[in-house]
Amino acid sequence: MIIPFFSFDYYDKIRKEVLDSISRVFDSKQYVLGENILKFEKKYSQLNKIKNAIGVSSGLDALIICLRALKIGKDDEVIVASNAYIACWLAISNVGAKIIPVEPNEKTFNIDASKIEKKITKKTKAIMPVHLYGQPCQMDEIMKIANKNNLYVIEDNAQAHLSKFNNQYTGTFGNINATSFYPTKNLGAMGEAGCVTTNDVYLGEFSKAYRNYGYTKKYECKIIGRNFRIDEIQASILNVKIKYLKKLNQERIFLAKIYDENLNSVLNIKIPYKDPNCVHVYHLYVIRTNRRDELKKYLYDNGIETSIHYPIPPHLQLAYKYLGYKKGDFPIAEEISETSLSLPLYPGLKKKDILFICKKILNFFN
């Protein structure tokens, strides 16, 4: 028996609905920025209780739009977690701004709000909190710091669709926020897609124009934009899948609880921290252990696939060599990358599979 790290098998349950929606796009002969995207933007903004959702080509492109909309570029600084997903760092670099890494909180994996203020300078324009693995950042503290210091907030909600901090959905706190619908996300398309969310009318209008060459009307170009459009097939699939998001998140939470209950007492493992003020939607179930590589191999030998998110922290990536960082500069981010192990968790995974994985983990440590 092999338990894969991730599986799309649950798609079989919505096969007909998805294929029907794709077939309607085929017949409509409108393949980009049509009715399906308008429908999705409305549904997504209503579901998240935010005024504007703007569908775009990917999560990275959504982050770039957020930065562009806030006129962040050369000579500006953006604060982001040292262990953030690489796309956050890439977005900041892509607009020519300077990345200011802040170490994460060891328990939550998210940016440590208590370390942000020390990094603020006259050039700081924004804080980019990333709700890693589905766990919300400390949004009350982050918003307080941003308001006090006149900074923008751009949330990266790619891994946290419908997670909540203090009863408010993540992706609705910032001035403008980004998310990804990469296929494996809690809400995933079947190709590339992403979204920008904002309550601000101007930022919403800017994003809409920017994704489509800068057009405000057909062939009327007001700003220098990009082609960050989303296609109708992806939007039609998202219209089907969004109906199941809450249910599928509940399934993830249920599965995570089984892991928690069975791994809680294993001394050599840290299970994911669950903040009582938050709803964690478990995009990933990430444990930490000093014997990570040995455990990974042992599980693999026992038919269990696992993954590592992420094996190289951004400051040690070759692309960022020019920044001059070295090993030891961000010890918490480095420790997380050396000790984290993501266990299988996805809709359709069976309770008995999780119990089997937990049994093998217990055997390993005993």
Q: Which two tokens stand for residue 313?
A: 């922290």
Minimum CB separation of residue 57 from ligand PLP in Å reads 8
The amino acid present at 366, given as its one-letter code, is: N
Minimum CB separation of residue 246 from ligand PLP in Å reads 20
Minimum CB separation of residue 304 from ligand PLP in Å reads 23
Pick the closer one to ligand PLP by CB: 101 or 361.
Answer: 101
Residues 6+ away with beta carbon under 8 Å from 202: none
Pick the closer one to ligand PLP by CB: 177 or 180.
Answer: 180
47/119 Cα distance (integer angstroms): 35
Pick the closer one to ligand PLP by CB: 171 or 344.
Answer: 171
Pick the closer one to ligand PLP by CB: 225 or 314.
Answer: 314
Nearest-CB residue to ligand PLP? 59
Of the CA atoms within 13 Å of residue 143, those in its CB half-sphere come to 14
CA angle 240, 85, 264 (to 5 degrees): 85
Beta bridge partners of 78: 99, 126
Pick the closer one to ligand PLP by CB: 92 or 130.
Answer: 130
Minimum CB separation of residue 84 from ligand PLP in Å reads 7
Q: What is the dihedral of CA 48, 50, 54, 59, to 10 degrees?
A: -50
Q: Given the structure tokens 């706190």, which residue do they identify?
A: 173
CA angle 77, 81, 86 (to 5 degrees): 90
Pick the closer one to ligand PLP by CB: 155 or 354.
Answer: 155
36/236 Cα distance (integer angstroms): 5
Minimum CB separation of residue 315 from ligand PLP in Å reads 17
Q: Is 168 exposed, middle or buried (0-12, 13-18, 19+ CB in 10 A)?
A: middle
Minimum CB separation of residue 288 from ligand PLP in Å reads 19
Residue numbers of the site for ligand PLP (CB under 6 A)? 58-60, 85, 87-88, 130, 156, 158-159, 180, 182, 194
107/278 Cα distance (integer angstroms): 14
